[in-house]
Amino acid sequence: MKPQAFIIAIALLLLGSTISVAQEQEGRFALELSGGPSWAVNQEGVSNLNTGAGFEGILHYRFLPHTGIYAGWGWNRFSTEASFAGNDTDFEETGYVLGLQFKHPIGMSPLAYYLRAGGLYNHYEIESEAGEIIVDTGHGLGWQLAGGLDIAINDSWHLTPGFKFNALNRDFTSSGTDRSLRINYLSARIGILKKF
């Protein structure tokens, strides 16, 4: 998605939030922290990645009864015993996410399901065993899809188990060689969400 189209979409969403005035009195904002394992499903530019792990912190704003926007920061790490960057290296993806969320209750139960679609502005860092950064690809655009359950513990606290899929492709130069790095991965996440 082009940055201009993304900015226009967000502006339209914010405009819609000022128009919608007949909403229930529950909090429109929420903060969510989640983490869990990750599995690479497509590895271009590197092979034999081990199971990874990561976490994400996002802020939600609900502007319609079941629809809102979310924005946050995430980190995910995969290790490998051998790669073009050397032995025992870590591949870390970090950066920002901004997107739309649809959440709908399941009957009269304390459960709801959620669906998310967002854009990423992330980069890859490749680190040596000693923690030294060997390669930093610089930030670029990618995308994310997610879905799961929202389990109300009470009016303010919720558990948010689910899955997310991140896709990011970055081109860079290493030791004078042009390379492309794409690690698309699926993550299982368990989160805790606080409404306010």
What pLDDT is attached to residue 178? Answer: 85
User: Would the pTM of this model clear 0.85, i.e. be above it?
Assistant: no
What pLDDT is attached to residue 27? Answer: 81
Q: How wide is the angle at C-alpha 142 spanned by C-alphas 18 and 68, nearest 5°?
A: 20
> What are the pLDDT tens digits along the chain (196 aa)?
566 666 666 666 655 554 444 344 568 999 999 999 999 998 777 778 899 999 999 999 999 999 999 999 999 999 887 666 667 788 999 999 999 999 999 999 999 999 999 999 999 998 888 888 988 999 999 999 999 999 999 999 999 999 999 999 998 877 778 888 888 999 999 999 999 9
* DSSP run (H or E) holding 15: helix 3-19
Length of the chain: 196
Burial pattern 47-57, b for ≥16 Cβ within 10 A else e, equals eebeebebbbe
What pLDDT is attached to residue 47? Answer: 72
The structure tokens 């005035």 sit at 21
Q: Residue 182 is which amino acid?
A: R
* DSSP run (H or E) holding 185: strand 177-195
What pLDDT is attached to residue 18? Answer: 46
Task: Name the percent of the chain lying above pLDDT 70.
Answer: 84
What pLDDT is attached to residue 141? Answer: 97
What pLDDT is attached to residue 195? Answer: 95
- Quick: pLDDT tens for 112-153: 999 999 999 999 998 888 888 988 999 999 999 999 999 999
**Considering the domain 3-195 in this protein, what is its CATH number?**
2.40.160.20
Give me the DSSP letters along 60-112: EEE-SSSEEEEEEEEEEEEEEEEETTEEEEEEEEEEEEEEEEEEEE-TTSSEE
